[in-house]
Structure 1
Amino acid sequence: MASQVVIEWRQDVPEDCPFEMSKDFAGVRFTGKHSDYHVGDTFYPSWAGDGNLYSPWTDGVTDGVKCTSGGGIRTGHKTGHAVMIGDDPTTLTIKNTSPPKQALATPYRGRYPAGSLVHEEIWYYGTYCLGPSAAYWHAGLRWNWPVLGPMPGFQISYDLGKTWEASPLSPSQPLFPEPDQFLGPVKMGAPHFVDYGRNMEHSPDGKAYLIAMGAEENDPMPRPCIRPTENGSGLEVDKACKETIRLHLRQGEAADPVLNALCKEAHAEAEGMTFKHGNLSWISADQIYLARVTPSPETINDLNAYEFFAGHDEDARPVWSSDFSEIQPLIEWNNHMGCVTATWVPGLQKYLMCVTDGWPTVTKMTSYILEADQLTGPWRMVAYMKDFGEQAYFLNLPSKFISENGRRMWLCYSANFANEKNGLLVEPMKIHPPGGRYGLSLHEMELIPREE
């Protein structure tokens, strides 16, 4: 292993940060220890009863198999699944459990891995949709999957990923009743299961909790339209922007006439919509939302089995509702949120939450870590990591690799998928901290005590 570089991030937050600073921790420290795997990205490990980790993956090559979740209507979209064997984060054996699965995203253009949970030896594997495309050009900039779409349920495996039962749902008939219209905003976007340890052993009530990102229809302060400056050295707000979404269905793209008709209908509905400027994309959002369900093959794809966080009552107790229309943000920071995961840390008796704001989807990205005694808050800032990665995304903290006292852990993420940064900087994107990559990255991280 190369020489280890210790790097710290503290609590240097923007002025409009709505979170109090953690009273226990003053930041995080990366020790320099890291993995060196050459596999795909989008790893979200779930610790199963057999002691192994099981994870989705995509967009790369793992165990000699290639998988990508983008693509066209005709071919469908693949999502991979792997087992991670071993106790040392730097020497895991990573093997595919079976060839990648394939599913349609119609009328969207991408279908990527979302919430993944192994419980009682049953693997629940969710996906979510994205659009209009991975290379959507607007105002002179490339936008990567700038619109977050619906969640078409869970595929189920009863043999730890060897065979799969398809979700009974679809992008046009998703698990949660959203969006109201094609390319409209969602609330339970790209949901991920809260990590409660091996076989979900630390769940407070036997329920599985899903944490997700979203935005509201009538955003009081949407992300602005931006364009490159005349000299190409940066970005500026384009106040005159009036560009609308222009989508064109390539004839014969879907062999199935029903899918073709569905896509045409959705595209006709979207034609002329104002472009949302990546306000709610695969990596940018305004709010975080929460749902829960008792996991089973019968309930996991049944909306009626879910409850949704609906705010707090007058005594500050969390309110849960079976009516999706009553869902309320768990936390919000307009124009500063995005992909989210959370893990329960037994040694601290706290939750840690990882959030990434990657707007405008192809540039440097900022992540931050929050902590709370209760999943329903209040949440406090541990570390604000500006330009982490420098383009890190899909952060999560696998419970298997957290120390007994909860102070040391391994951060799982991927980095630098778009090294050109939309042509805004002359120098290539840096790897920061060293050892990151476009693929699975595992870095040892310590919480810095407040008194240090």
Structure 2
Amino acid sequence: MEIQSKQNNGKLIVLFILLIILCQNNLTAQQRDISYVPKPWLARVWVPEIPNDCPFKRSNDFSAIAFLGNHVSYTDADTWYPSWAIDGNMYSGFADGEIGLESTHSSGGVKANTGNAKIEGDDPMHLKISSLGLQYASALPYQGRYPCANLVYNGIWYYGTYGIDFDPNPDNKKYSWAICGPLPGFRISKDYGKTWIPCPYTLDNPLFPESGKNGNFVKMGTPHFVDFGQNLENSPDGYAYLVGHGGANDDPYPRVANNSWIAGDAVYMARVKPSPETINSLDSYEFFAGNDKNGNPVWSHNILDIKPVMEWMHHMGCTNITYDKPLHKYLMCVTDGWPGIENMNSYILESDNVTGPYKLITYMKDFGSQGYFMTIPSKFIARDGKTFWLSYSANFSQDYFGDITKANPVGSRYAWNLQQVQMVDNKQEQALLMKMKTGEPDPIKSDKNIGLRANVVVSSALRDARPMTELHQYFGEGAVDGVVDPESKNKLNEWVSDGETNTAFIRLNWKEPQKISKIWLFDRPDLKNQITSGMLVFSDGSTINVSALPNNGNVTKEITFPEKKATWLAFIIKSVSKTTTNVGLAEIAVFK
């Protein structure tokens, strides 16, 4: 992948040089150096768009989620459900992608494998993620086998998987993994992933006696452990709770892919006191069987007695629950991703009890815009209980993958994504909405900067200074992330070339023509690396020669010109200072 990207970038350099030589059409432009003072991101409220048939009452305490702007993405893989272990680290499975050069493929049938990862650090923006290797386990009689229920308790790692299938009808191409299979059981590690005891069951003989074959549907689909904090410290009774999603017996209008990895009708629950002896013993589990006449939960050892914790026909899907200790509340994240390859909707609910009733905080239509596997890691809940980090992956299917313009909110991509958010009440929501209209945001963090939603290509990227990805589409994202750090503490907020000086370039692309009249260019804050001249090239062949950029992050080069339309623009470095070894940009902002 890396070799191919360098070859492609080399071809692009040649094309750009030819373009400059053959098609120079200099624009009249004004240039000046202006001071820049960074400002925090303006909080952005995601206004709920709640479907009319939503059966859940609204929360009395919260009305929406505000995104605070801080975000980060790690790896090129999805299916992250971190568990906070007693050693202070988090551990998670991962699937269908890479951590560095180690790759997992969970759709391999008999050769399906899943990854194991260790997550170190307390600051979500600066985590260290290491692969602990892959484990192979056959997906047969299904086609895929993916991570789900993940728990590290008293130093023992319990790792669950589930099976999935494509719809057998070859004409149903608009569905992704339309059939959800069962949880076969758990593999176990007593040394934090160094060695494993294999799962004693298979997908055709699973721990929970369910099947997605022959028109059947599962109820404990893609189950996940409720996050009770570090080492289950906040479990009310010593149990580990599992929450899954599945079909409903009373569905009057069954549809294709209704019980898939990401869609369903209802949420179900089970619990177990975890140990190596109980985790794979069906007799050790209790299943939620409804409430008694006083509203108290009833539990049964018979899975046939299982009843929904909550139900919303054709609107439920992958579900995770986290206990918010400061608020003494349970927060439930649900993604309704039907049909599986289009935009997805996610919503968050709250309850005083793990079994509910749950009340709706927000419904985020088109979150991601194809966001999924949403959860709230308890390790990253702030002391106020209202501020935390959403964990999710996004934009995996062909029409979304690698396309930054699809990111909603900014920073969403195929990876492990973390977004800092805050729950707000109605009064706070209205105040923030007013501030969004009347406030004065940092220009490079505002919607007016269309660079934030551009696809980026760079001539090269220094490995130590690029995002945690092997996908060249993201190598230059540090130059369009809305962040300029004058002290250059974090090179991930820059584009740093790999040993290039002149002829290095960065190109921004949009799918539709954009109106452009102003560009800000920030040189890298590293005083040893300075661009002394460059050229802007636009998709219509016009060019602007650019003089030396200010050699620090407190001043930007502003280039203004008569409004023009372009589907792409490139900045090509023509000359640099004598001390330059890795030319690049701290940021390129493009304004209408």
Letter in 1 for 2:186: F
SS in 2 for 1:451: helix
Instruction: Say which of 93, 96, 107 aligns to 2:131.
Output: 96
The 1:169/1:13 distance shift into structure 2, 3 A limit, reads: same
Instruction: Indicate how the Cα distance of structure 1 residues 163 and 183 shifts in structure 2: closer, same or farther if over 3 A, else same.
Output: farther
Structure 1's 306 and 448: CA in aligned 2 closer, same or farther, altered over 3 A?
A: same
Residue 22 of structure 1 aligns with an amino acid whose one-letter code is: S
Q: For residue 233 of structure 2, what is the amino acid of its counterpart?
A: E
Superposition pairs for residues 6-45 of structure 1, below 5 Å? Answer: 6-45=43-82
**Counterpart check, 1:448 vs 2:430:** no
Q: Distance in 2 between matches of 1:337 and 1:28?
A: 19
Identity %: 48
Rounded to whole Å, the distance in 2 between the matches of 1:183 and 1:411 is 35
**How much does 1:406 deviate?**
0.4
Shift of 1:222: 2.1
**1:56 and 1:82 in contact (8 A); partners too:** yes
The answer for the alignment partner of 2:232 in structure 1 is: 200
For structure 1, the residue ranges without an aligned partner over 5 or more in a row are 224-276
- 1:343-358 superposed matches below 5 A: 343-358=322-337
- C-alpha distance after superposition, 1:332-389 (max 9, x if no partner): 0000000000000011110000000000111000000000000111100001000000
C-alpha distance in structure 2 between counterparts of 1:200 and 1:313, whole Å:
27
Q: CA, structure 1 residues 181+61, in 2 after alignment: closer, same or farther (shift >3 Å)? A: closer
Structure 2: gaps (5+ residues): 1-37, 429-592
Letter of the structure 1 residue corresponding to residue 171 of structure 2: H
* Structure 2 CA distance for partners of 1:403 and 1:361, relative to 1, 3 Å: same
The letter for the 2-side match of 1:450 is: N
Asked whether the equivalents of residues 195 and 343 of structure 1 are also in contact (C-alpha less than 8 Å), the reply is yes
Q: Would the aligned equivalents of 1:131 and 1:183 in 2 still touch at CA under 8 Å? A: no
5 Å matches for 1:252-263?
A: none
How many angstroms does 1:180 deviate by? 7.6
**Deviation, structure 1 residue 178:** 0.8
AA at the equivalent of 1:197? G
Distance 2:390 2:146 in 1: 21
Q: Call closer, same or farther: CA 1:359–1:428 in 2, change over 3 Å.
A: farther
Match of residue 116 from structure 1: 150
Residues 268-299 of structure 1: per-residue CA shift (max 9 Å, x gap): xxxxxxxxx11111100000000000000000
Task: Give me the whole-angstrom Cα distance separating, in 2, the residues matched to 1:189 and 1:12.
Answer: 27
Which of the residues 398, 402, 406 maps onto 2:377? 398
- Give the secondary-structure state (helix, strand or coil) at the position aligned to 2:304: helix
Q: In 2, Cα distance between the equivalents of 1:10 and 1:195?
A: 27
Q: Which residue number in structure 1 is paired with residue 161 of structure 2?
A: 127
Is the 8 Å Cα contact of residues 181 and 213 (structure 2) preserved in structure 1?
Answer: no
Deviation at 1:192, TM superposition (A): 0.1
- Distance apart, 1:70 and its partner CA: 0.4
Tell me the equivalent position of 1:164. Answer: 196
Specify which structure has the higher proportion of helix. Answer: 2
Query: Which residue pairs with 1:222 in the alignment?
Result: 254
| Number of residue pairs aligned between Structure 1 and Structure 2 | 390
Give 1 or 2 for the bigger CA radius of gyration: 2
Q: TM-score, normalised by structure 1?
A: 0.83
Letter in 2 for 1:84: I
C-alpha displacement of 1:155 = 0.4
More contact order relative to length (CA 8 Å, sep ≥ 6):
1
> Where does 1:3-402 land on structure 2 (aligned, <5 Å)?
4=41, 6-73=43-110, 76-97=111-132, 99-132=133-166, 137-139=170-172, 141-179=173-211, 181-182=213-214, 184-217=216-249, 219-223=251-255, 277-402=256-381
Q: CA deviation at 1:2?
A: 11
Deviations 1:226-269 (A, max 9, x none): xxxxxxxxxxxxxxxxxxxxxxxxxxxxxxxxxxxxxxxxxxxx
Residues 322 and 109 (structure 1 numbering): CA distance in 2 closer, same or farther, change over 3 Å?
Answer: same
Contact 2:41 2:68 survives alignment (8 Å): yes
Change (3 A) 1:163 1:128: same
